[in-house]
Amino acid sequence: MSDTRTDLAVEGMTCAACAARIERGLGRLDGVEDARVNFANGRATVRHSDLVDADDLRETVEALGYGIGAPESDRDAADARRQHDLGRRFVVAVVLGLPVVAVSMIPALRFDGWEWFAGALATPVVFWSGWTFHRTAARNLRHGATTMDTLVSMGTLAAWTWSMVVLLGDLDSHVYFETGVVVIALILLGKWFEIRATRRSGDALRALATLGTDHARLADGTEIAVEEIEVGARLLVRPGERIPTDGRVVDGRSAVDASMVTGEPVPVEVGPGDEVIGATINANGVLEIEATRVGADTMLAQIVRLVDEAQGSRAHVQRLADRVAAVFVPLAITISLLTLVGWLVSGRPAEDAFTAAVAVLIIACPCALGLATPLAIMVGTGRGAQLGVIIKGGEVLEDTRTVDTIVLDKTGTVTAGRMAVVDVAVPGDDRDRLLALAASAEARSEHPVAAAVAAIGPTRLPVDDFTNRPGLGIVATVDGEEVRVGRRSLFDDVPAVVEAAAINAEAAGTTVVLIGRGPVAEAVVAVADTVKPTSAEAVAAFHAQGLTVTLLTGDNERTARSVADAVGIERVVAEVLPADKAGEIARLQQDGSRVAMVGDGINDAPALAQADLGVAIGTGADVAIEASDLTVVSGDLLAVADAIALSRRTLQTIKGNLFWAFAYNAAAIPLAAAGLLDPMIASAAMGLSSVFVVSNSLRLRRFRGHRSTPVSGPIPVPEQELQPS
């Protein structure tokens, strides 16, 4: 049986209890493997077999008293309409409610029949402005459930009913029309702020989804729709245009602004052979690219999908909150009834007993609870996407808190994964000529080391003959001279001064290339992988986060130690076979460590999956990204520090939200039951708790990472003097 994912836009949810009830209802269907309902974005995500279809899921949701809304593309418009409706109801509540409050609270403003005046104005507020609460409460009661809206509806209707009984019965008691009016106005305001915050929290993801262009230009100048691009197509990108899809540069050089996708603040120089990401901006040169990934396979599409899935997830701490919320509303109603009975039995006036009972109902309503976790996750993951950091779910947030060790792959993670010349030793006087000859000859080779040597000569001399000697090097005729570039064995004679320089280079952990005109070696070129510009700063950031840093690599001990020393890593595990990397992670875990693994290659995937927290460098292999928990879109190791910091900040925000939501209710209910809390004050305090949760979550939008001050230029490692000692 196939595993299918279905997304539903659910309407009518008002709190976390609604989401939990829908989850339980969907989970009871045969064939449903997992059901998650996100109150913050109003969406249900269901994974199911072919035993159940989308119609079954819709019918289940509707049977529970909720509706199925517009498709995702129309969600923002639907949310805008709901926000507008809440705003209208709030305005009516304020306009009609202010005179009610004034005449009820200020004796000097009272006149004969003021109670009837207050009742006339309060009635449309209670029933029309508060209709959304009453409708939801009634619907839930029909299905034997209670929610936060049940408390609001019961409290406001009780206040209005008692007041009408006093008026119609001509009882000598106070009326509480102002209580219902104020409660509804304040809660409507809180709901308005909530939906506004929810729409804002999704801005980052919506912005990402619309980054791409809708057209592309083929190499021959023909314009086509982006949807028509096929893998292998040659595309022309002019200065200032967005790159239409992921691809590889085949011709041209330019600077590409990828900040909206990777979070990198500085444009990246690209040339033939370099990968480019769709939706990024070509800054100044004309590029011809070959499409490598199109449609749903592009980096941008994957980012949107991963963030979308993450926003529908939940942290483990939320599950405890859900269980508490499931019993909280019935408990609050029970406490309210006990308060009423207790006051009446003790001989206290009926109006005082009624006031205390209503205050308990109002103050017990934990509206903030429903937004505490999902809103923080939405804002945090959305902000991460803007910074090029993909957090794959609420569980990941908690894993970052417990991690105490971070293991770094070397090649492609700490280093650039590209060979570069780090130093040159030319004992003779003809340095420039010799290097120009070597660079021109190596330009004919496709070997990675040859590419590094070719880059040291800015000009090219004519090459008349070229021979590749596998395992040794190359021999060529350049500008009329025989040139040899390669290993010692390629030469008949290696002078002592050249040999000494070569030995020094090898001792430093670099790869040695000899150069000579004819059979005698004349110079030494030291080639090594280069450390990424920000790797040392990233390692320092890991230490500041309380992490023990380990370098894990298949390279020899000498080379690995050189890289580790360059960036400040103390512990090195070298000469590890790819298949054994996961075993090294497991050994650290057996020693009691909580391990985060950072890698980029296919050989890193098992270790990423084994680690408590897998972090993939987004420039690496797709399989590594799929096996990870966190992905940084750029190749910047400093972005990993940003990812960990943002994850921890988001989890901290969630815990702060939940603490406030629960602590507020736990502290206030006894005060209300004791008659020390007026219903109006209770409603104001309840509204403030929601405002706190919303504003606290939105603070994550201002998160700034370590990459605000860019570092440019590769850092050669090791930086050694190659002259003979």
Q: Could you list the active site residues? A: 409
Which among 306, 311, 222 has a CA at the least distance from the CA of 261? 306
- Residue 704: helix, strand or coil by DSSP? coil
Burial of 77 (0-12, 13-18, 19+ CB in 10 A): exposed
Phi, psi of 215 (to 5 degrees): -140, 160
DSSP state for residue 126 in the 8-state scheme: I
Tokens of 638: 């400093």
Are 283 and 255 spatial neighbours (Cβ–Cβ below 8 Å)? Answer: yes
Render the burial of 206-222: b for 16+ CB within 10 Å, e for the rest.
Answer: eebbebbbeebeeeeee
Angle at 24 between CA 29 and CA 85, to 5 degrees: 115
Distance set, CA 46 to CA 3, 25, 370 (Å): 10, 12, 20
> Residue 499: CB partners within 8 Å, gap ≥ 6?
none
Q: Do strands 234-237 and 223-225 pair parallel, antiparallel, or not at all (unpaired)? A: unpaired
Are 52 and 31 spatial neighbours (Cβ–Cβ below 8 Å)? Answer: yes
Which among 50, 159, 90, 257 has a CA at the least distance from the CA of 678? 159
Alpha-carbon span 435 to 530, nearest angstrom: 20
Q: Do strands 268-270 and 254-257 pair parallel, antiparallel, or not at all (unpaired)? A: antiparallel
Where do runs of H (alpha helix) occur along 578-637?
581-590, 605-610, 622-627
> Residue 681: CB partners within 8 Å, gap ≥ 6?
none
Alpha-carbon span 598 to 643, nearest angstrom: 12
Element holding 301 (H helix, E strand): helix 299-311
| Amino acid in position 507 | A
Distance set, CA 64 to CA 13, 31, 58, 370, 402 (Å): 11, 19, 10, 19, 39
> What's the CA dihedral at 242, 244, 250, 251 to 10 degrees?
-30
